[in-house]
Chain A
Amino acid sequence: MVDADAAPVVEFRRVSKTFGSFRAVRDISFEIRKGEFFSLLGPSGCGKTTTLRLLAGFESPDEDGGEVRLHGDVVNKKRPYERRLAMVFQNYALFPHLTVERNIAFGLEMRGASKSEMPDRVVAAMSMVRLDAKTFGRRLPAQLSGGQRQRVALARALVLEPSILLLDEPLGAIDLKLRKEMQLELKQLNEQLGTTFVYVTHDQEEALTMSDRIAVMDNARVAQLGSPAEIYENPRTRFVAKFIGESNFVEATVSDRTEGGWRAVTAHGEHLIVPDHKTIAAGRAVCIAVRPEWLDIVRPDAVPAGENALTGAVRDVLYMGETLHVLVALPGDRSMTVALRNEGQFLRPIPWRRGDEVAVAWMPVDCQVLEEE
């Protein structure tokens, strides 16, 4: 669906937004392509919501704070109602004084849709979000459950057949099971309708599941932009590695080149091999991240040849269901978490117990070399 060569429908060019002395968004740039499911992901206060509000037109960039473009046109000064977007709000923002039908028809009315086609379009939008128009059409928002309100909010946006749909943490307020269901539905709608989705969330799992591309935001900037796999498997900074999934961090100093990478030594004299990376040079400090599921635990005398290994003692084994997390204490108050697949603790229990001397081992290619933030 996503056409990589087509002109971007949304462009941010070095956009900044300041509230008083608080810099909510600093110099951010990105492009969103037609039909893309694009997520803005980050912790609260990172600037993701401001970014969405800049796109919606509720805020304007600072004077000489860059350009926001929609379909190629600069829209910095355009009011929200001139942008022909649609949006689903975090609290749904359904008009409490209007019935479900009137809520959904509101945008059609405002955009001058003909009166005769309105009822059909409202019904169509409701069926798109799997709400029965007969049952719910005449109800007030106060008479709906959270999940139903959520669907009405979505229908109110989709009925406009927008080319771009903005979603501000739309699934934040509903329970886990329904959330998973809605995630799938949203993704399906994105693919079926060819609508560009711009999705704000603080839930990294949600972003990974649904997005074509993710902009991870931190401290008013874009920390990393890429596909879910790129972001998970090649986090650029320590922040990204920490925020998306779990990670173990190892710090070392690069010594010299070797076959397949560089040799590095930790402060505790452990030798590691790290892959090539643009920031690596002899004598420089390096920080690497390794995902828990890429690590393995072996006896200290059984480390496979060519693998990196750090020795320590098992501090705890946490039963997580799908996996077991083994916490290994390393010299110097460091620790690593290793995720082992749970193959059944009654039939095939893992052999490690608290206090065991073990080695944590991984292949050098699995090291993610991190940049300075």
Chain B
Amino acid sequence: MSRSLRQRALDYFHHNPTVRAWSLVAPGGLWLLVFFLVPVFMMFTYSFMPRGMYGGVESGFTLEHYLRFFDSLYLTILMRTTVDATVCTVACLLLGYPVAYAITRAGRFKGLLLFLVILPFWTSFLVRTFAMIFLLRDTGLINTALQSIGLIDEPIVMLYTPFAVMLGLVYGYLPFMILPIYASLEKLDLSLLEAAEVLGARPAARFFRVTLPLSLPGVVAGALLVFIPSLGSFLTSDLLGGAKEILIGNLVQNQFTAARNWPFGSAASFVLMALVLVSVLIYLRVRERSGDAAGAP
């Protein structure tokens, strides 16, 4: 029996599983290799090379760009970035957990409430940041409203302050915290709470001893989803912070534009990447443990 070309090709793939798998991987894999890994690696090499006269780099090896981070100016930026990201994460958690909890208990409003969290999640970050500007600037809605009712005479300066940046970060990333917490609360087996109740646990004890530990995977996932983009945030501090509130993302951008110091910018990028990596590793550790605590694989 002669087999068709199509059948012979299918046979070939059936009997060569490695070829089969790698031919699926190849297009996307190569794309990521050439347009993600290679550039990041190049950036890594740049961070060890001396600065060129007119931008770019010269050949050679140096650690000076990394050593500059011990300069108090850059140490401050580094600290500020980490502190801001941490504060933002904690704020999102404190605001987001109750919301996620309320959605799971919202009965017939559940779909609507969830939709109202998903909506900003998908809405353009740029547009949302502009919405903040619209409210906060001196001629913005808040100041105008306060002035018109005579509460204040002079506008309160809110835009281009650390407060505005923090508000923008929390506003921007809050949905990232709510959704994973909601997902893990939604999976919670309500009979566990009934069991706890039968065993004599009061509402507070039920929450802290059953609900919270079991939703921990969602909490850590949400924390990671807020913390990482806050670390690398650039748009928020750029638009809401002015020049006063420089975060590491702005530093990187500045080195590649105005300052034209590519190797230092590359080093700053890798310091940022290192921070991200550390937080991912912490996340993986915590998830491993909370996974054990929840009794789930």
Contact = CB atoms under 8 A, between A and B. Distances in A.
State whether these chains interact: yes
Contacts of B10: 79
A61 B126 CA distance: 59
Nearest to A79: B14
Interface in A190-210: none
B28 to A, nearest CB: 26
Contacts of A79: 10-11, 14
A70 to B, nearest CB: 14
Mostly, the A contact residues are loop
Interface in A70-89: 79
B292 to A, nearest CB: 27
A63 to B, nearest CB: 12
Interface string B1-39: 000000000110010000000000000000000000000
A79 B11 CA distance: 9
A79 B3 CA distance: 12
A79 B12 CA distance: 12
Interface string A64-106: 0000000000000001000000000000000000000000000
A274 to B, nearest CB: 52
A79 B9 CA distance: 13
B17 to A, nearest CB: 12
A79 B10 CA distance: 10
A81 to B, nearest CB: 10
A169 B11 CA distance: 30
Nearest to B3: A82
Contacts of B14: 79
B37 to A, nearest CB: 32
A322 B10 CA distance: 58
A79 B14 CA distance: 9
Contacts of B11: 79
A272 B11 CA distance: 62
Nearest to B15: A77
Interface in B75-124: none
A111 to B, nearest CB: 15
A239 B14 CA distance: 39
Interface string B206-230: 0000000000000000000000000
A174 to B, nearest CB: 26
B14 to A, nearest CB: 7
A244 B10 CA distance: 44
A291 to B, nearest CB: 43
B5 to A, nearest CB: 16
A307 B10 CA distance: 67
A77 to B, nearest CB: 8
A36 B271 CA distance: 72
Interface in A338-353: none
Interface string A298-332: 00000000000000000000000000000000000
A79 B8 CA distance: 12
A54 to B, nearest CB: 16
Interface in B154-185: none
Interface in A137-164: none
B133 to A, nearest CB: 47
A276 to B, nearest CB: 53
A172 B227 CA distance: 49
B269 to A, nearest CB: 43
Nearest to A82: B7
B3 to A, nearest CB: 9
A79 to B, nearest CB: 7
A79 B15 CA distance: 11
A110 to B, nearest CB: 14
A173 B91 CA distance: 49
Interface in A31-79: 79
A19 to B, nearest CB: 14
Nearest to B11: A79
A55 to B, nearest CB: 18
B278 to A, nearest CB: 37
A22 B284 CA distance: 32
3 contacts: A79-B10, A79-B11, A79-B14
Interface of B: 10-11, 14
Q: Please name the 3 residue pairs, one residue from A and one from B, whose CB atoms are nearest each other, closest first.
A: A79-B14, A79-B10, A79-B11
